[in-house]
Amino acid sequence: MIKPSRLLLTWLGTLTVANLVLGSLDALGVVLPHTLKAIAWGMLLALVLVAILDAWRVSRLPSPHLQRHMPGSLPLGRWSEVRLDISHPYNRPVSLQVFDHVPDGLSFNDLPQTIDLQPHQDSQLGYRLRPLRRGLFQWQQVEFLVPSALGLWHQRRFLPLDATTRVYPDFARLYGARLLAVDNWLSQMGVRQRQRRGQGLEFNQLREYREGDSLRQIDWKATARQRMPITREFQEERDQQIIFLIDCGRRMRSQDGDLAHFDHALNACLLLSYVALRQGDAVGLATFAGEQQRFLAPVKGPAQLNVLLNAVYDLDSSRRPADYAAAAEHLLARQRRRALVVLVTNLRDEDDEQLLGAVKRIGRQHRVLVASLREEVLDELRQSPVQTWQQALTYCGTIDYLNARAQLHERLTAHGIPVLDARPGELGAQLVTRYLSWKKAGTL
């Protein structure tokens, strides 16, 4: 598609107005030189002919060759760089305007861009990309404007340039943690580790007695054989299983900052998965109240983190209500071995009976931890000053809602079901803290 440039429209407008003025003066009886009218019409005709020739030349101009370089996977909410390499056969300098058709759900900066191509020299340009949601995204084409040699036209062209990328939860900090010592990294993340009381549950090895070892650690048979004090060394229990039971219903669609509660929940689960896999435990997940139910059996090893990422990168919350009874039935049918089940949801006061029954049913076979997300705005409203009647109504409604929510948490706790009430941004650190506390105490 060829469009006239501002230069061509300016010349056409100027010459057309000039001819209209000359025609009007001639109609009014003003005597004008015949050469003046001939020059004006001649210039207009010459411009039309030159414009036609210029349009024909730009239509025969070959298109440049573009190659897009971008990561195969992107972290949600973080800026990444995309580069376009441009090669061309032009024998003259060309000022090319380029626009990459970015899929919906991705924000971008520095587009469109204008780049000056020099004869027989390759060029490149870049722009920044920031995913706003997870999933699989596909690029299809690049759009660019090619100017004509005289600058009278711009031809809009579309070059097919397919590419795909996956947007994962924000896992960059998880992989970055590999470069740090585990203890140092956990402290930076706000995780508190408690000193273990007593000994671990799994036998590790026999060794010589050291000052400070308790008498209970001494292996008397080995001591008699070796004729020297030998003690048993224990380690933290390994090969335990963790299942994340993730609510994909409408309550997880609440927004705090740039991320929804559902994305905060996924980030927290991945954070705990990383720590648990480093501790030698097996991690899996199950979902409910979404468009489709997913189940991933617990598996040990660092490779399981990539499996988890591929399993949740395209998960999204739905508008369905949370059916805790169905979620419990689905989980118990798939997970036979005892595990720590982390139920991640947003509890409301109306969940009382159904939630309690479902969690108690799971608790007969597994250890259960209920992680309930609390909206940031609730804390803000509770702490904001009250000066007007409307603010007083809002404050009382907030306190009433929080009290009802706290009563539900207390009832669950009274039935032996631990509850973790956390704001979305703090959920990851609190989950890891609770996990390490239980693991060191040998109560998982």
Rg (CA), the chain: 34
pLDDT tens-place string over residues 136-180: 999 999 999 988 888 888 899 999 999 999 998 876 555 555 434
**Cα 209 to Cα 219: distance, rounded to the nearest angstrom:** 10
Packed helices 261-278 and 303-312: angle between N→C axes, nearest 10 degrees: 170
Residue 116 · residue 90 · CB < 8 Å: no
Residues of the chain with pLDDT under 70: 171-204, 234-239, 349-352, 443-444
pLDDT for the residue 196: 46
Sequence-distant (6+) residues with CB within 8 A of 56 are none
Gap between the Cα atoms of 273 and 285, Å rounded: 10
Tokens of 328: 């419990």
Q: What sections of 101-208 are H helices per DSSP?
A: 172-176, 182-188
Give me 443's structure tokens. Answer: 């109560």
| CA atoms of 372 and 247, how far apart (whole Å) | 10
Q: Report helix, strand or coil for 100.
A: strand
| Helix/strand/coil for 68 | strand
Residue 59, pLDDT score:
87
User: For position 165, what pLDDT does the model report?
Assistant: 93
Contact present, 143 and 96 (Cβ < 8 Å): no
Q: What is the DSSP string of 319-377?
A: SPPP-HHHHHHHHHHH--S--EEEEEE---GGGHHHHHHHHHHHHTTSEEEEEEE--HH
Q: What is the signed CA dihedral for 102, 108, 110, 113, rounded to 10 degrees?
A: 10
Distance, CA of 423 to CA of 373 (rounded, Å): 6
- For residue 217, how many other CB atoms are within 10 A of its CB? 17
Strand partners, 141: 160
Q: List pLDDT tens digits, range 294-317.
A: 999 999 998 998 899 889 888 888
- pLDDT for position 5: 86
Residue 75 CA to residue 93 CA, distance in Å, equals 38
Rounded CA-CA distance 409/351 in Å is 11
**Both tokens of residue 329?**
């039935």
Can you state the angle between helices 352-363 and 389-414, rounded to 10 degrees? 30
